[in-house]
Amino acid sequence: MSMADDIETSETASVQVAVMRRRPALRVAMLTLGPILAAFVLSAVILMLVGVDPLKYYSYILQRGLFSGLGLEQTATRMAPLLFLCASLIIAFRAGIWNLGTDGQFLLGAVIAAATAPLLVGVLPGWLVLLVGFVLAALVGALWSILPALLRAYHGVNEIITTLMMSFLGVLFASVLVKLVFLDPATTVPQTRTLPVADRLPRLFDTSISSGLIWGLIAVIAVHLMMTRTAFGLRLRMVGANPHAAAHAGLSVPLLTMAVFALSAGFAGLAGASEILGVAGNVRADWNPAYGLMVIPLVFLARFHGIAAIILVFFYSAMLIGSESAARRLGVPQDFTLVLVASLLICLGLGEYIDHRMRQKEQ
């Protein structure tokens, strides 16, 4: 074989390698952007069926959520609890565990933070009041996951069922705590005591953006690095990928399973604390923003990648803020955002199915 043939063969091989490397990246991009675009188109069709111009609806969302100073500040503030929930779900999903109980863990963490922080004002320094609130919220969230964790770790019970049940109970229990145990006697509305604005998380610069945003960003990046760059994260991922192989390698599968639940639920509790200690200041009875279930499709679209999750949370937060303005101007219910989320879930599932079929054909 001549030198020219060798060079040609080498160039052909390098091109093939480059194509093989591009295919996964292209596939991931299509599986991420494709469901988003399809969900917006499907939602646009629904809007047209009810007599609303989808272009006006989406333009109001962009104007309010992205292209106005106040809207951007509100978008950034809304991101904080969603980022903590992203960190929670990235830990669980990368470890092969379906923690679908984040809403209950979120609310219980919020209630505990709202109940304890106002009582500590004036007793402890301001920074310590906030720290205690966050720590207690994380502990309560982790404790609420013990039962599903034990059942999964030692009896192999499907955690999808148990975490959903515990979430349902957690939402109801949080409301009971507000109405009976932590009720503010100075108000007629059933709610906890209110943390004064001056004692909440500080604002960033001269804006209304809560510094909870910074802690949420740190949480997502730290979790991403832990799960992808550390030996502990590798152990957690091994447990989810192949428990039998992990046990054969000498890892304590039950203890690592418990650790995944505790970390994931703890971050969900921190999400609740960031919302209360940074923005709301109290918890009203029957309050449930259902952030946990709304964040799930974002984490899947991001393919459990921290940076991608941050970008998607930013756009989703802008959509939440903008939809409130669009609802007032066009008479669309604010809950229409949930229709968009549902459309996103459907399109995401269809995208995964199509990708699975294509992989089977390639093999």
Residue 13 lies in a domain: no
Q: Does 346 share its domain with 285?
A: no
Cα separation of 17 and 330, whole Å? 52
Same-domain status, 345 and 294: no
More confident residue, 343 or 195: 195
14 inside domain: no
The pLDDT tens digits of the residues spanning 170-229 come to 999 999 999 999 999 988 889 999 999 999 999 998 888 999 999 999 999 999 999 999
Question: Does residue 188 lie within any of the structural domains?
Answer: yes
CA dist 12 and 9 (Å) reads: 5
Domain limits for position 361:
27-52+340-363
303-330, pLDDT tens digit by residue?
A: 899 999 999 999 889 888 888 778 878 8
If asked whether residues 77 and 35 sit together in one domain, one would say no
- pLDDT tens digit string along 229-278? 999 999 999 988 888 888 888 899 999 999 999 999 999 999 999 999 99
Q: CB of 59 within 8 A of CB of 328? A: no
Amino acid occupying residue 247: A
* Domain identity same for 149 and 213: yes
Cα distances from 281 to residues 45, 193, 219, 320, in angstroms, run: 39, 8, 22, 20
Q: Residue 122: is it exposed, middle or buried by C-beta count within 10 angstroms (0-12/13-18/19+)?
A: exposed
- Do both 83 and 202 map to the same domain? yes
Asked if residue 327 and residue 244 are part of one domain, the reply reads yes
Q: Alpha carbon 195 to chain centroid distance?
A: 25
Residues 234 and 174 in one domain: yes
Biggest alpha carbon distance in the chain?
92
Same domain, 38 and 138: no
Q: What pTM did the predictor assign?
A: 0.88
Which two tokens mark 187? 């108000």
